[in-house]
Amino acid sequence: MELTKEQQRLVEQYLESKNFDFLDLKPEILDHIVSDIEHLMSESHIFENAFKMTLLKWEKHFKETSSFFFGMLYSESKIVVNKAIKLFKPFYFLYLGAYFLPILFLKLVPVHFSETIMDFTNGFLFLFSSLLLVYMVFIIIKTIQSKVKTTYRFILKTQYFGLILLIMGLAVGVFKENGEMNPVFTGFICAGFSVVFICHHFYKKHKEAIRKYKIS
């Protein structure tokens, strides 16, 4: 049995009461809740009872929660966090690899460079990293200005702090005085690059979601 427009509006009002306005999730969750109500009504429950039973089932999914993957400072409804974890998990391991693999490699195989190559590399890293930082400022400003909530925007918000690694790597440099690459700060630089890549990916996804649902 399909819900009437008025009944569907009650479901929409429930989502509004939960401040659940994530562009990429709201239509899907709305469909799931409506389907659950319709299923109960097909089993001879009246709408009012089916509606209450369904809301009780879904209530736990709207409770605010956090995750190890994003840090305890960032919390959202369980639905959003669960989807965010699924989307972000591969990038989390990319981030860890970008940090630990250079450290491990340089600890096992110390690499030395001449002063000329050191100067060139430092200059290149400074220029490239500066451009990346400018790009990140652009992403942060544009994301804030959009004022549209998506799961991708939530993920973006949790990653900005990682840019400190890039800044620290630049401030200290990737070379020791003897020309040997510093494993820890090389790891910082590589992890910072991975953060920019991750933010670029999810910023694109955020914009695609806005275009998909024709929100300006």
DSSP per-residue string spanning 88-112: HHHHHHHHHHHHHHHHHHHHHS--B
Residue 148 φ/ψ, nearest 5 degrees: -105, 125
**What average pLDDT does this structure show over 154-172?**
87
Mean of pLDDT values over 20-36: 94
pLDDT tens for 49-60 read: 999 999 999 999
Domain boundaries, the chain: 5-62, 66-212
**The model's pTM:** 0.88
- Residue 177, pLDDT > 90, answer no
Confidence (pLDDT) at 176: 85
**Using one digit for the tens of pLDDT, what is the confidence trace for 76-90?**
999 999 999 999 999
Angle at 71 between CA 65 and CA 77, to 5 degrees: 20
Asked whether the beta carbons of 31 and 11 are under 8 A apart, the reply is no
